[in-house]
Structure 1
Amino acid sequence: MSSLRTNLAFAAGLVLLPSMAFAHPGHGTSGLVSGLSHPLFGLDHLLAMVAVGLCAAKLGGTARWLLPVLFVSIMVLGGSVAIAGMHLPGVELGIVASVIVLGMLLIFARSGATVPAALLVSGFALFHGYAHGAEMPAAAGAATYALGFAFATAALHGLGLLGGQWLQARHWQRAVQVLGALISMAGVSMALSM
């Protein structure tokens, strides 16, 4: 009963804090520090990136390395597109959709769904990368900024992957589904606040 209360309290907190999703505080002038902080302080990015790691753990096999590598690689490409001044429509909508859909993957995905998950992760990574690149401080160097957001993203994927493997080793698959539901609910809350 107390775990249900804890989950409900966490969900309520996520629903009540949607403004954090688009605030992305913590940007300085240092390229590396700014790049590191962007994924960590934007709730939308943080949830999606941890969810990628959790999905990788849930799907297992090649997904454990494929999903994080694809996400980071295509995210850097998306950042380059923004830094180059090209336009990508629907970025915020794509990011919010990523939170909702990646949460749903944690609920419904089964082993063997690596290819569809990889396609989704790749598409969503482009939007996240574009947002990172578009919000690069003017004084920041592009290379160090990209290194920062790539490293922070990889760390969040690793956190999700390790957490997902830890939960699976204890046969707590339901906990992964609960996390997926909470992540999706947070995404819906973000969508409603747009």
Structure 2
Amino acid sequence: MADRVIAVTGGVASGKSAACQAFADLGVHVADADLAARVVVEPGQPALAEVVAAFGPEVLQPDGRLDRATMRQRVFADPVARKRLEGLLHPRIRERLKVECAQAPGPYVVVAIPLLAEGGGRAAYPWLDRVLVVDVPEAVQTARLRARDGIEAGLAQRMIAAQASRAQRLALADDVIVNDGSPADLRAAVGRLHARYLSAQRPTATRA
């Protein structure tokens, strides 16, 4: 069992996944909330039936799987729908992540939680020891999101606005990586934090 649990969070297209991959490349076990979110809505899972009951059969693909594109468009256009979906899924996602982290090897485990601020913060995840925020200016975030998903500017801006603000995320942070540089810069910042996390002493707040 890992001695400490480090949450990694940040806004959409901030570089959370790249940061987590850098930790994984250093041999750190990474538990992923996005992966957990996919598993809990697999066909046959109770959460999928609840989503269909709440939003209708049109959110399903012909093969019975959740139509993520349709669901995304719907919840980002309707804050009430988004909260309803989160209420169905987040408790199951949290429990799955807690079990995985409890079983992880190594001195520490990283858990990627994109919606940490939106999902209740530390109060919802009392088993977290530390929070790392991957931060990025909103203009950079918008450009990356449009390039990554091939979406128009309006949807990108609505997706960003639907999430917690930068200030809300940073209020949770013990450590911050400002990811406005190159991939090599990000990997170097992760490497510096990795060295601190491996230290026998609990690190103080840092900005990598």
Structure-1-length-normalised TM-score:
0.28
Higher relative contact order (CA 8 A, sep 6+): 1
The structure carrying a bigger strand percent of its residues is 2
The structure carrying a bigger helix percent of its residues is 1
Structure with greater Cα Rg: 2
